[in-house]
Amino acid sequence: MKRKKIVLASVASLAIVGLLAGFAQHQMRNPKRAYEFMSVKVNSLLDEIKATDAQRAQVNQMKDELWQQGQAMHQTEQLREELVSQWGADQVDAAKLHALVNEKIDALRAFANKAVDDSVQLHDLLTPEQRAKLQEEIRKHHHHHHGPDSMH
């Protein structure tokens, strides 16, 4: 049970990174500024848990890889253009549209699996004290944005 909570806390921490990236990108519409915003937040959390230089390097590498994969997922122009162009055709190619949607879903699945794998790696990278501090920071952040009863 305790291991499950620790893994969930690790997943939540990476989810926060993902949410921060999404929020930053949505709010700023500028990938460079969004990346900088996310980096500041991640580094602030690393400061809070007193991460070592080696831990920082590994966490920032995970963050960068997730960022790059997330950016690739946001490239939806092909799907959007195809959806619009299909409306002009005499007959819609449903198979083609389904294939494009499935491609996007596969990319999302790969991203989510990498986030889980990275959260397990993060769990193993941090000390029990650091994990407890990170869990506390995640709860504070979640409580602030979603209310006291939303995270169990």
pLDDT in tens, the chain (152 residues): 666 655 555 555 555 555 555 555 455 578 888 899 999 999 999 999 999 999 999 999 999 999 998 888 777 777 788 888 888 889 999 999 999 889 889 989 999 999 999 999 999 999 999 999 999 988 887 765 666 655 55
- Integer CA distances (angstroms), 135 to 1, 12, 22, 32, 38, in order: 15, 9, 21, 28, 18
Q: Strands, E, within the chain: which ranges?
A: none
> pTM score, two decimals?
0.69
Place of tokens 């995640």: 138
> In the structure encoding, which two tokens stand for residue 19, read together?
């949410």
Residue boundaries of the structural domains of the chain: 2-146
- Integer CA distances (angstroms), 117 to 62, 66, 71, 123, in order: 10, 11, 19, 10
